[in-house]
């Protein structure tokens, strides 16, 4: 049989396969989410996320050094306070858990890049992402608290702030607050396209941030919608977002691609706790090859348009890159 075109010629061996890859991974694109809590000497495993932990500040520093040694140079910090109140005052307290963790980390591990999650849900007694008016989050009064939180993080040493609340106008409020106080060089990574998703369940256990009533569907996005996500991303770019994020990752690659195609800023995606928990559970039961699955998930996110991949598997992916399993 005469065939001029034989695609298999470029799959003959590992050298040629790697040479012609369309999507390439780099450790510098990985961000590791990490939970910091009050106390000392704590490395507390999260039951619904085997292999992931809550750290006190001292053990947090140890973990940062381990990550950096494996080539993971960026983290996203989530704080777990001891006390909460109706207005989430621990979020913007200059002596709050994230602020103290930042100051300690910048001194002990200065080569790490520190991104902070900016939200109220871990700090409010009701578990919602802002101040309440009745049973709903009051958008505009929440903006000032989010801006105060972002500023307090920048003052403590954050390299980047990442608002995850999904309030209208929060990127502009944060940008103005940072600029007015001399932090115009601190970038904003906006959780621009954040869906109301069941994939967040294990995170809410990890951060003790589940709402005490209702849900977050009045501010997080309806997962049936794509064009709405594009509108959110474009709005955040207009308000000053330097990077926009799509969250979750795995079930929303179509959205990720569409956002990537319309914005003129880098695009991140967050492989969330539910994705991690499902893979980990299946792997522990011997049903899947964990490394291969993790590699495919990472590559698929970059293939869909991500330039930054936020994942609890960041350290493992870095090892797989070193071993040539993915790259």
Active site residues: 194, 247
Distance of CA 285 to the CA centre of its chain: 27
- Phi first, then psi, for residue 202 (nearest 5°) are -60, -35
Cα–Cα dist 275/1, whole Å: 46
The C-alpha atoms of residue 220 and residue 282 are separated, in whole angstroms, by 29
Distance CA 144, CA 196 (A): 23
Burial of 42 (0-12, 13-18, 19+ CB in 10 A): middle
Pairing of strands 136-137, 132-133: antiparallel
Give the containing element (helix H, strand E) for 117.
Answer: strand 113-118
Percentages of the chain per state (helix, strand, coil), in multiples of 5: 45, 20, 35
Q: Are 36 and 55 within 8 A, CB to CB?
A: yes
């Amino acid at each position: 049989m005469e065939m001029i075109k034989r695609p298999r010629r470029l799959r003959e061996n590992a050298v040629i396969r790697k040479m012609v890859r369309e999507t390439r991974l780099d450790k510098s694109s990985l961000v590791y989410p990490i939970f910091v809590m009050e106390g000392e000497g704590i490395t507390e495993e999260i039951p619904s996320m085997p292999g992931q932990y809550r750290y006190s500040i001292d053990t947090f520093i140890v973990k940062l050094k381990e990550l950096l040694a494996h080539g993971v140079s960026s983290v996203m910090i989530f704080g777990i306070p001891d006390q909460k109140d109706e207005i989430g005052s621990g979020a913007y307290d200059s002596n709050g858990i994230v602020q103290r963790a930042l100051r300690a980390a910048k001194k002990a591990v200065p080569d790490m890049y520190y991104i902070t999650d900016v939200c109220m849900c871990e700090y409010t007694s009701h578990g919602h992402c802002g101040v309440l008016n009745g049973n709903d989050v009051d958008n505009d009064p929440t903006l000032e608290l989010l801006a105060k939180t972002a500023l307090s993080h920048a003052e403590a040493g954050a390299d980047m702030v990442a608002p995850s609340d999904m309030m209208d106008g929060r990127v502009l409020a944060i940008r103005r607050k940072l600029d007015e106080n001399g932090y115009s060089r601190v970038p904003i990574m906006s959780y621009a396209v954040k869906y109301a998703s069941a994939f967040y369940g294990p995170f809410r256990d990890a951060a003790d941030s589940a709402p005490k009533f209702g849900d977050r569907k009045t501010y997080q996005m309806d997962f049936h919608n794509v064009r709405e996500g594009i509108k959110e991303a474009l709005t955040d770019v207009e308000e000053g977002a330097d990077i926009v994020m799509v969250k979750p990752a795995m079930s929303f690659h179509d959205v990720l691609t569409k956002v990537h195609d319309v914005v003129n800023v880098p695009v991140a995606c967050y492989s969330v706790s539910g994705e991690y928990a499902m893979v980990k559970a299946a792997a522990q039961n011997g049903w899947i090859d964990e490394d291969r699955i993790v590699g495919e998930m990472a590559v698929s996110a970059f293939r869909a348009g991500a330039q930054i991949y936020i994942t609890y598997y960041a350290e493992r992916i870095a090892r797989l890159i070193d071993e040539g399993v993915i790259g």
